[in-house]
């Protein structure tokens, strides 16, 4: 140790106050290699492995589907990217901005977490709508013929699921507010 009471290891401060600082964890070559990888790549090796696996699955799907109808797949891919970037991202950002304005982000207004109690059920509901929109909007003539089931129930069920998601989220938020109020009330009595 140096004479200034400073520990030469990064992030460690030693002192002459009679207490010996806790020993640093063993930093073997494996730890140093992992730290160097994270510094260069920016994430853990698991992230890179999962990303490579997803690219492999997408590559396999492209090799299987592209020979049959490459033009339609290309149009769909470009159209989806353009729709997402030029329509949906501004829409998400606008709705998120409106939610933050409605709930406020100042210290004296509703907690910032209130936005998530609207954002999460809305996301799940819109995702269900995106996946099942032909059935919800009764725009799937082959469904009834193929399955011999009626497609008239999907709109009502989607609305019911959406209402249940928002109700559960509101109840969870109210319970959190109640617990926070109770905790503040209890700590106020102890003073």
d(C-alpha 21, C-alpha 12), whole Å: 8
Q: Averaged over 127-140, what is the pLDDT?
A: 87
3-state SS, residue 50: helix
- Where does the pLDDT of residue 26 fall: very low under 50, low under 70, confident under 90, or very high at 90 and above? low
The answer to whether residue 93 scores a pLDDT higher than 60 is: yes
Q: According to the model, what pLDDT value does residue 72 have?
A: 82
Helix or strand (DSSP H, E) at 38: helix 29-41
Instruction: Identify the DSSP state of 25.
Output: P
Taking only the tens place, the pLDDT of each residue in 37-51 is 888 988 888 999 999
120 in Cβ contact with 139 (< 8 Å): no
Which residues, other chains included, contact 120 with Cβ-Cβ below 8 Å and sequence gap of 6+? Answer: 169
pLDDT band at 19 (very low <50, low <70, confident <90, very high): low
Which has the higher per-residue pLDDT, 63 or 157?
157
Mean per-residue pLDDT of the chain = 80
Cβ–Cβ contacts within 10 Å for residue 145, how many?
Answer: 8
Report helix, strand or coil for 8: coil
Structure confidence by residue, pLDDT tens digits, 50-72: 999 999 998 898 888 878 888 88
CA 87 – CA 144 distance, rounded (Å): 32
Q: How many helices (H) and strands (E) in the chain?
A: 6, 0
pLDDT, greater one: 125 or 3: 125
**125: pLDDT confidence band, cut at 50, 70 and 90?**
very high
Euclidean distance between CA atoms 96 and 116, whole angstroms: 10
Average pLDDT over residues 87-97: 86
> Which has more confidence, 190 or 155?
155
- Six-digit token pair at 65? 């589907």
Model pTM score: 0.54
Instruction: Give Cα 148 distance to the centre of its chain.
Output: 38
Give yes or no for a contact between 110 and 103, defined as CB atoms under 8 angstroms apart.
yes
pLDDT value, residue 167: 97
């Amino acid at each position: 140790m140096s004479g200034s009471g400073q520990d030469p290891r990064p992030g460690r401060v030693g002192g002459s106050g009679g207490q010996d600082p806790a020993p640093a964890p063993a930093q073997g070559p494996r730890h140093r290699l992992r730290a160097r990888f994270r510094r260069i790549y920016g994430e853990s090796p698991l992230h890179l492995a999962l990303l490579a696996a997803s690219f492999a699955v997408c590559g396999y799907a492209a090799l299987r589907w592209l020979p049959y109808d490459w033009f339609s797949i290309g149009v769909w891919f470009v159209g989806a990217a353009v729709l997402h970037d030029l329509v949906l991202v501004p829409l998400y950002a606008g709705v998120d901005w409106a939610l933050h304005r409605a709930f406020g982000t100042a210290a004296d207004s509703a907690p910032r977490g209130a936005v998530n109690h609207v954002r999460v059920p809305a996301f799940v509901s819109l995702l269900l709508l995106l996946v099942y929109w032909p059935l919800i909007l009764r725009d799937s003539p082959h469904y009834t013929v193929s399955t011999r089931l009626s497609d008239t129930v999907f709109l009502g069920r989607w609305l019911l699921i959406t209402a249940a998601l928002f109700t559960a989220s509101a109840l969870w938020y109210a319970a959190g507010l109640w617990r926070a109020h109770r905790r503040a009330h209890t700590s106020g009595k102890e003073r």
